[in-house]
Chains A and B, each alone.
Chain A
Amino acid sequence: MSRPAEGIPEPRHRLGLAALAGRGRETAVGGEDGPCGPDVVGGLAAAWAEAVAGTSYVSMSRSEIEQHLAGLTRQLVTALLAEPFDPTPARQVGAAMVAAHFTGTETLNRTVALLATELPARLGLFRDGCQGPVVERVAAVQGALAAGYAEALRQRTLDEQEAISQAVFVARDQTEQALRASEARFRAVFAEAAIGIGVGDMAGRILEANASLLEMMGYSLEELRQRNVRDFMHPEDAASVWRLYDELVHGQRDHFRVEKRFFRSDGEVIWTHLTVSLIRDDRGHPTYQVAMIEDVTDRHLLQERLRYQALHDPLTGLPNRALFLDRLSRAFETGGRDGRVGLCYLDLDGFKVINDSLGHDVGDQLLVAVGQRLDACVSAPGRLVARIGGDEFIILVERSGSTQDVVVIADHVLAALEAPIRVGEHELAVSASIGLVERPVHGTTPADVMRDADITLYWAKSDGKAKWALFDPERNAREVARFTLSATMPAAIERGEFYLDYQPLVRLSDGQLVGAEALVRWRHPEFGLLAPDRFIGLAEETGQIVPLGRWVLREACRQARLWQDRFGQRAPFISVNLAVRQSRDPSLVADVAKVLAETGVEPGRLQLELTESAVMGTADEPLDALRALSAMGVRIAIDDFGTGYSNLAYLRHLPVHELKIAGSFVEGLRASAADGSHVVDARIVGTLVSLAHALGLGVTAEGVETEAQARRLDDIGCDSGQGWYFARPGPPDQITRLLS
């Protein structure tokens, strides 16, 4: 910037120059006391600093500012006094001010004012009266400084604006890059997602769909875009699906999740998990809807199949036990106070034979055929046919009107099974037994009716097959009691609930007591005193007779020993009944021997009573046992002789010592019988006695109730008698008293 400032006239310039040059010669510029000396410059700088204090922000302390301005002042003074005069350096001073951040407008104002007054005054330029050229030079310096200042400030402003704009640009660019990267990631998530994603507007128009969704639905994006969400309504959608959808598009809900069916473009149905979310704009207005759809068709079908399998019998396809029980429970839940329910519990007769003889394949096909017939003749709303295992089927009548309803069904079923069933080359005649239960649901339970149907089916079977039986509560109660007795018997033996009564056996010729029959009694804690007919048959069925009989034998022998000790030779023999099952017990002989040994009873004082059937027509083993007992010295008596089919010829080969003639023959010996039957009975009894005596056997008559009977029996030659005439069964003391 060496060229002169424009607009300053040359002649004036020169004039001023001369005046200043004169002063310049007197006082050396830059000398100690010259215009550029520290005093002048320092003073000016201090005044300048004072003038601009607080008008701009500069990063300097007050003394640093003065120092900085001193440098600028020196430049200004030099420029003002320079010959030839050139104000250009003042431009640099203006620029330097801006560089130091003296950028406030007030700073320039005060600086320009200061240059007009303080600068010439402190340089003493006004003393010579030649103010004209000085004013012109000062004005030129002011102008140059202001121009330099303006130019620098403009440049600085532009630079800073440029810099900040550039920063914004870069920042935005980076943000955009980040956005693009993030958008690319989200787009990849959308595009590559395995789950179907679709975007729609609030009117339900489909805007976007990813590849998974297109593949799932079998449409192209263009095809999908021409559709509305509502086009995907499926007739079997739950009503809630579209209610939720309406709530969503009305902004009342932000998302929902349902299981929903869709038709693919090829008409195939797919099952999906559908999640729809509402997208709102910044102000919260619903803007888009996003659907995420997962194809769960395979899972659904599998689930359906598993559920079907769980509730159906794979062989016949009929509902299985689980489904039946479920429906039965439901019938109870919905039955209320007046509802009734009926069950037909059905079991094929002789199925095991078919299965065993013709093979399981045939058996299975037979079951399938039976299932079909049952289904055909029974299934109807409110009726369910189920196979609940093996060859057992059950028919549930959910709201039966009366017992007659199940009876009609049972007759139907029996009729339907009458025609033979063809399986392969076999014509199979089948029949079924059916147990029926029909009753109000109130006051009973599913478990109760199932149990009762099971019992009733058993009755139908045991009553003879191919028929139905209806549940009978009284019969059931009896059976329950029997069951209770048999179940409690083992514990009853241990607890000592059984005891023995004894009935005397009397010699007819002289009325002497010769023996006593032990009769078992049960003092039941619940049912009271029980006679043998209430529990002996049951004990035989269950096998409990063996331990019970063993107990009776031991107890009777224990008593016999007491009498033996007390009465010696006058002591009665003891007679103990032996059930059929006991007589076949392999350990019988050993048991008897052991009891005799333990109690010390002479074998001849023990008599075992067996029925005819137990002795006759049996295999060899029991006979062997009887022979062994006989050999041991134990007496064997045949009880109730004459009521069975005794092989008289065979009798002579048996190890028997005594016959006990059944009370029914003895009854005919009553004196007053008018029809003369007593004559016949007397002859029979006489023949029996003769026969027995011929075989060397003793004879005891049972059921002797009158003196006349006793006398006649004695007349006939019968050895002993037993009955109420002599004594009723009683405690052992009774025998003791009679002997004493």
Chain B
Amino acid sequence: MDRPDWAPGDIDLARPSAARVYDYYLGGSHNFAVDRELAEQAIALWPDLPLIMRANRAFLRRAVRFCLDSGIRQFLDLGSGIPTVGNVHEVARAVDPDARVVYVDSDPVAVIHSRAILDGDERTAVVHGDLRDPAAVLSSAEARRLLDPDEPVALLMVAVLHFVPDADDPAGIVSRYAKEMAPGSCLVLSHATHEGQPQHAGPHQRLYARTSTPLRMRSHAEVTALFDGFELVDPGLVLLTQWRPDPTDEPDEHPERFSGYAGVGRKP
């Protein structure tokens, strides 16, 4: 069928996009006035946000390295967003040039941009899809081409499940991916939380309700539950900067500023 990857009407530049807002937090310019306006409003409410975003991105880098150290050479990055500095394939290639990465996002602009950046790279691919439909993602031509189901894979759900409401059963989604993953595979997960910064969480969630991807923050227990079927590696589910910091990093005196939980689980 010649059905387009996305339904017409997806591209509404009058609405901010979470992917482009995130890019702005990281200092990128892959964004528009409406994205920047939202980001600035968010920062006004919660000045630490850029820090949190950078900490999240840093967690991604450390977690990918951890997976590489564990012998994993294929990555499935769900909700990959706008390719900006420190993409998964860049981090992975620094260790092994043969590492394979499949990016998945539902934002058509992010997908097109990713494809432009990765054009000609045989070991990366971008799927325009909805991470809430594991069957569709896993059966996509790109995933089947690059991911070997018999080999361990790193499933990256970094700062993305807080965009999945309870009604869509995030734990069920994770378990449907997990079912298809070989033993030794890893789940890399970070998730926004209201714990620690309750005064910011409410207004922030309301602000994100204006985007095409509203926000649902979750507690430590709720995020831990998402790791059902995985064994959390040390140090477990912790605040973003506390997850295996680089040895040379200065100890953070106020990790609670980073209102996100991070963890890596290994499938036995």
What's the Cα separation between A164 and B13 when bound, in Å? 12
Q: Measured between C-beta atoms, what is the minimum distance from B165 to chain A in Å?
A: 23
Q: Determine whether A56 belongs to the interface, using a CB cutoff of 8 Å to chain B.
A: yes
Considering only CB atoms, which chain B residue lies closest to A53 in the complex? B250
What residue in chain B is nearest A159 (Cβ atoms)?
B29
**Docked complex: B149-207 residues within 8 A CB-CB of A:** none
User: Please, which residues of chain B bring their CB within 8 A of the CB of A62?
Assistant: 246, 248-250
Bound Cα distance A66, B27 (Å): 20
> What is the bound-complex CA distance between A168 and B57, given in angstroms?
24
User: Which residues of chain B have C-beta atoms less than 8 A from A54's C-beta?
Assistant: 51, 54
- Collect the chain B residues with CB atoms within 8 Å of residue A421's CB: none
A172 CB–B CB distance under 8 Å = yes
Residues in A with CB closer than 8 Å to B58 are 57, 59
Contacting residues, chain A, for B13 (C-beta < 8 A): 168
Given A63-B246, A174-B4, does the pair A167, B29 have CB atoms closer than 8 Å?
Answer: no
B53 adjacent to chain A (CB < 8 Å): yes
Q: What 0/1 readout, one digit per residue, does chain B (1-33) give for beta carbons within 8 Å of chain A?
A: 011111011110100000010000011111110
Tell me which of B27, B31, B111, B249 contacts A61 (CB under 8 A).
Answer: B249
Q: Is B135 an interface residue (CB 8 A)?
A: no
Tell me whether A179 is interfacial, beta carbon within 8 Å.
yes
Cβ contact within 8 Å between B30 and A181: no
Nearest residue, chain A, Cβ from B56: A57
| Residues from chain B with Cβ under 8 Å of A202 in the complex | none
B116, CB-defined interface residue at 8 Å: yes
B109 at interface (Cβ–Cβ under 8 A)?
Answer: yes
A631 at the interface (CB under 8 A from B): no
Quick one: closest B residue to A172, CB to CB?
B11
Chain B residues near A179: list those with CB within 8 A.
Answer: 8
Q: How far is the CA of A178 from the CA of B215 in the complex (A)?
A: 30
A535 to B170, CA, bound (A): 96
Distance A27 CA – B249 CA, assembled complex (angstroms) = 34
Contacts A166-B116, A175-B4: A59 and B91 contacting too (C-beta < 8 A)?
yes
Residues of A160-206 whose CB lies within 8 A of B: 160-161, 163-164, 166-168, 170-172, 174-179, 181-182
Determine the residue in chain B with the shortest Cβ distance to A175. Answer: B8
- Given A57-B85, A175-B4, A175-B10, A63 and B248 contact (CB-CB distance below 8 Å): yes
Chain B positions 101-154 with a Cβ under 8 Å from a chain A Cβ: 108-113, 116-117
CA distance A182 to B247 in the complex (A): 56
CB distance B53 to A59 under 8 Å? no
A175 to B4, CA, bound (A): 8
Interface size on A, residues (CB 8 A): 33
Are B85 and A167 in contact, with the CB atoms below 8 A? no
Once the chains are docked, how many angstroms separate the CA of A645 from the CA of B8? 113
Cβ of A103 within 8 Å of any chain B Cβ, yes or no, is yes
A14 proximal to B (CB < 8 A): no
Whether A58 and B85, one on each chain, are in contact in the complex, defined by CB atoms closer than 8 angstroms, is yes
Which of A61, A163, A171 is in CB contact (< 8 Å) with B11? Answer: A171
A439 within 8 A of B: no
Closest CB of chain B to A735's CB: distance in Å?
A: 108
For B13, B26, B247, which residue has the most chain A Cβ atoms within 10 angstroms?
B26
Q: Which of A44-67 contact B (CB under 8 A)?
A: 53-54, 56-59, 61-63, 66
Given contacts A62-B250, A104-B27, A163-B113, contact A57 B8 (CB under 8 A): no
- Whether A476 sits at the interface, judged by CB under 8 Å, is no
Q: Which residues of B contact A66 (CB under 8 A)?
A: 248
Task: Please tell me which one of the listed residues A58, A103, A168, A182 contacts residue B109 in the complex, with CB atoms under 8 A apart.
Answer: A168
Q: Is the CB of A178 within 8 A of B8?
A: yes
Distance A161 CA – B6 CA, assembled complex (angstroms): 23
CB of A652 closer than 8 Å to a CB of B: no
Does the CB pair A61–B54 fall under 8 Å?
no
Bound-state Cα–Cα, A168 to B116, Å? 12
Q: Are A160 and B28 in touch, CB under 8 angstroms? A: yes
Interface: A252 (CB within 8 A): no
Residues of A within 8 A of B229 (CB): none
- B97 an interface residue at 8 Å Cβ cutoff? no
Q: Are A157 and B29 in contact (CB under 8 A)?
A: yes
In Å, the complex CA distance between A176 and B5 comes to 12
Cβ contacts B70-96/A at 8 Å (1 or 0 each): 000000000000100110001100000
Please tell me if A23 contacts chain B, counting CB pairs below 8 Å. Answer: no
| Of listed B54, B112, B248, residue having the most chain A CB within 10 A | B112
Tell whether, in the assembled complex, residue B57 and residue A61 are in contact, meaning their CB atoms are under 8 Å apart.
no
Q: Which of A53, A167, A177 contacts B113 (CB 8 A)?
A: A167
Task: Point out the residues of chain B lying under 8 angstroms from A160, CB to CB.
Answer: 28-30
| Additional A-B contacts beyond A57-B57, A57-B86, A63-B247 (10; CB < 8 A) | A56-B27, A57-B27, A57-B50, A58-B86, A63-B248, A156-B29, A157-B29, A164-B82, A179-B8, A181-B4
Cβ contacts A to B, 14 pairs, < 8 Å: A57-B27, A57-B54, A57-B57, A57-B58, A58-B85, A59-B86, A61-B246, A62-B246, A62-B250, A156-B29, A164-B113, A166-B116, A167-B112, A175-B8
A residues with a Cβ closer than 8 A to B are 53-54, 56-59, 61-63, 66, 101, 103-104, 156-157, 160-161, 163-164, 166-168, 170-172, 174-179, 181-182
Give 7 closest A-B pairs by Cβ, nearest first. A59-B86, A178-B4, A167-B113, A61-B246, A160-B29, A101-B85, A62-B248
